[in-house]
Amino acid sequence: MGGTNFTDVLANRSPLGLSVLVVGALFLLARLFKRKARLSDIPAVGNATSKEARRKEFLSGTARDLYVEGYKKFKNSAFRIMTARQSECVVVSPEFLKHLKKLPEDVLSFNEAALQTKYTNITSNIPTIPHTLKTSLNPALFRLNPIILDEVSYAIQTEFPQSADWSEVRINGKLARIVAKTSGRIFVGPDLCRDEVYLDAAVNYTLDMTAAIQAVGFISPWLRPFLASRAPQVKKLHHRFQQADDFLRPVVTARRQAALHGLNEKDKPDDMLQWLMDSQDKFGQQSDREISKYQLSLTFAAIHTTTAALTNAFYSLAVTPNLVATLRQEVEEVLAETHGNITAVALQKMIKLDSFLKEVMRYYPQSATAFQRKVMKPVTLPNGQTIPTGVILEVPSHAINYDETIHASPDVFDALRFYKIRKEKEAALKSKMSAEDAFAESTTNNQFASVGDTSLAFGYGRNACPGRFFAANEMKMILATTFLKYDLKMPDGCTERYKNLTFGSQSVPDPTKTIMVRLRK
């Protein structure tokens, strides 16, 4: 028997039904005013006063300035900011991170804040994934590095022009396919990672997911239950998932069948898909569709941010020939010690390259904020301020990146910033410990993959990216291979680095721009 819906009540106009509606409306209004009253105790930033004017101010290109303003004024507390989400966010001091990271998902939810899980059906709250990354992928990186490098070499050779003459290349699209192939080699194996159906699904699923998350964010929270599922971007995402699932699920099914017929352990595929399937012994049986969905979640995480970071890196390199020469020299010197092999040890020794990537992420962060969480239950901050249920909470990572008390001359892009810090720290420590220990200690908070309350590019706490070590190795291999085999420059007439595209708190490299590439002579 079907339940009574909202339109039925309006049509019948029964006294009881109307009473229920009135009580319900009053309840919602009471909650709204209560939340607003609590938020009013938290100071706001910006010059505009009305909700819509503040939102327009945020979207006018000044969002990052607003975060910096709030960070400077309320560095040790919290402030409010109206964002593109159609609701206010509360931005908190990084000093509170150690306290906030201890709160469980049912109090502070990453999924509800960042992924709009309720409407997109996307979730990262899948214990199988971080467990498998931490226990299967990360410990295997030394063993897997030759396989990763093999795919990097193949992908670059097939995507970059193979000519000694200069060719104009739209680099973002090329890098997306290189990253998709390389990560796919580890995620789904050598046969599938080069399949055009897989590549199309992997690259475009990432784009569609981003569009769907943003589309839901633009809908008023009160209207999302009615409109979000109808948004064209959300419908397109669900269609893309179905396409990807149609491709991946038969692979999962075939592997299950092979296991049932007594497949030898040594003959099992050595990839993430298989590790996810094997993890069911610990986390319980999952359907083929669920395993397929897990794989797509990994694909999004692997391709989206890595491609953007690499595009930013290539744009900076193309406009700075001296930097290319400096990093190429380091790669060649390190490889001279490893007989030309880009080993795991070689990657660790490329500390100038590591510094360059960390500076790219500091100077060109993809978001002005980090540690986005939705408050599911009221949260009291260490300073006594209370954040009510339903509010999005975040940390102003861009403002932290440009804090001169943390980074000297933060407005200057210094590719060797963290290299110099590490060298200075290492020299100071050598009098107190062995050279090996001094080197290891100097990497703390200064390495590309480091996370901390002043280094938030890979997140923080239990939701810090568990695949960041794989991503760091992958990016270094792509850049090192490029330095060894190719020259880069800007197109004729272009003398400045391309500006990133900004929208609200988001900033991405312009995917339509080109650079010049040629084989080294």
Name the binding residues for heme.
Answer: 465
The rounded distance, in Å, linking the Cα atoms of 327 and 322 is: 9
Contacts of 458 (CB under 8 A, 6+ apart): 449, 451, 464, 465, 468
DSSP state of 499: P
Give how far Cα 152 sits from Cα of 145, 193, 381, Å: 10, 12, 46
Cβ–Cβ < 8 Å for 419, 358:
no
Token pair of 472 as six digits = 């760091």
- What is the strand order of the sheet 392-395 is part of? 78-82, 88-92, 392-395, 370-375, 108-109
Binding site as annotated, residues: 465
The rounded distance, in Å, linking the Cα atoms of 23 and 127 is: 40
The rounded distance, in Å, linking the Cα atoms of 355 and 464 is: 20
The rounded distance, in Å, linking the Cα atoms of 389 and 484 is: 53
Quote the distance between the C-alpha of residue 105 and its chain's center: 19
Which residue is it, tokens 């001359």?
Answer: 409
Q: Look at residue 415 and give its three-state secondary structure.
A: coil
Quote the distance between the C-alpha of residue 510 and its chain's center: 17
Cα radius of gyration (the chain) = 25
The rounded distance, in Å, linking the Cα atoms of 223 and 171 is: 39
* Length reported for the chain: 521
Angle formed by the axes of helices 288-318 and 171-187, nearest 10°: 140
Cβ–Cβ < 8 Å for 183, 203:
no
Question: Mapped to the 3 state alphabet, what secondary structure does 423-446 carry?
Answer: HHHHHHHCCCCCHHHHHHHHCCCC
The rounded distance, in Å, linking the Cα atoms of 301 and 320 is: 29
The rounded distance, in Å, linking the Cα atoms of 368 and 509 is: 14
Instruction: State the DSSP string of 175-227.
Output: HHHHHHHHHHHHHT-TTTTT-HHHHHHHHHHHHHHHHHHHHHHHS-TTTHHHH
